[in-house]
Amino acid sequence: MADFERSDNSLLYVQVADFVREKIYSHEWGVDERIPSEHELMAMLHLSRGTVQKGIRSLVDEGLLVQQRGRGTYVVQPIMARPTSNHLLSFAESMASQGIPYTTVVVESRVEPANKACAWALQIPRGTPYLYLARVRSVFGEPVMFIESHIAMSRCPGIEEVDFTAEGLFEAVARTSGQKIGYSNQVYSACVCGKRRAEWLQCDERSPALQMDQTVYLEDGTPFEWGSIWMPANRCVISSSTQRD
């Protein structure tokens, strides 16, 4: 195990957090594994209990660690894997394929006029009404996904009346548009959650998140959804299986 080297460039508790984070990122301390106790870390790093506690607490707030009363502090195990493939799957379809139960809560639903960016993404005239839909998806009682969707109502008549706690977006769009879902363009980014999304995801606003921007198209090539999906990094992972030619 690498020695802890103090630096004058940052606070000691930040250096503790950096040291522990590196152990996790390098897989020296694995997922679902108990890390050394506070006393062990104090002896290992030659630091006070208060400094060690503050460093560990910052990683708990980040979502990398979880403290279990009477058991110790553990590296967090992600609770959901979202597989990638050449097939476009909704969250509901992805969870069903893995046999994972989930719940959906609609936190915002309103009709708004499209601004310049939304109009461009959905290929509709500026000012055209669209449906803004924000949902939180939870697995085993833990929020794992915050979804913001901008939906072209003209292509999905009656979409604003759908109960999205009971019906998935892709299913509702296929039903109201009379078309199959075609394809999507997706871009992934690493971000921090920020205050608003952290509230819905029940995590610290500085917690790392995987953010996916996507535009989804009907089978005739017209876009019907433009939005973002936010997934806390400690609860979700992206899985992929590829074959060498």
Query: SS3 sequence, the chain?
Result: CCCCCCCCCCCHHHHHHHHHHHHHHCCCCCCCCECCCHHHHHHHHCCCHHHHHHHHHHHHHHCCEEEECCCEEEECCCCEEEEECCCCCCHHHHHHHHCCCCEEEEEEEEEEECCHHHHHHHCCCCCCEEEEEEEEEEECCEEEEEEEEEEEHHHCCCHHHCCCCCCCHHHHHHHHHCCCEEEEEEEEEEEECCHHHHHHHCCCCCCEEEEEEEEEEECCCCEEEEEEEEEECCCEEEEECCCCC
pLDDT by residue (tens digit) across 60-89? 887 778 888 888 998 876 655 554 555 666
Look at residue 1 and tell me whether its pLDDT is greater than 50: no
What is the arithmetic mean of pLDDT over 171-193? Answer: 90
Instruction: Give the pLDDT of residue 182.
Output: 93
Is this model's pTM higher than 0.85 or not? no
- Triad 112, 188, 74: Cα angle to 5°: 110
- From the CB of residue 161, how many other CB atoms can be counted at a distance below 10 Å? 9
Could you tell me the domains of the chain? 12-75 (1.10.10.10), 79-238 (3.40.1410.10)
For the record, the structure tokens of 158 come out as 């009656």
Per-residue confidence band for 147, with pLDDT thresholds at 50, 70 and 90: very high
Taking the mean position of all CA atoms in its chain, how far away is CA 205? Answer: 13
- CA distance readout (Å), 46 to 59, 73, 85, 212, 214: 19, 19, 48, 42, 48
The whole-chain average pLDDT of the chain stands at: 85
- 90 vs 131, more confident: 131
Q: What is the pLDDT of residue 80?
A: 52
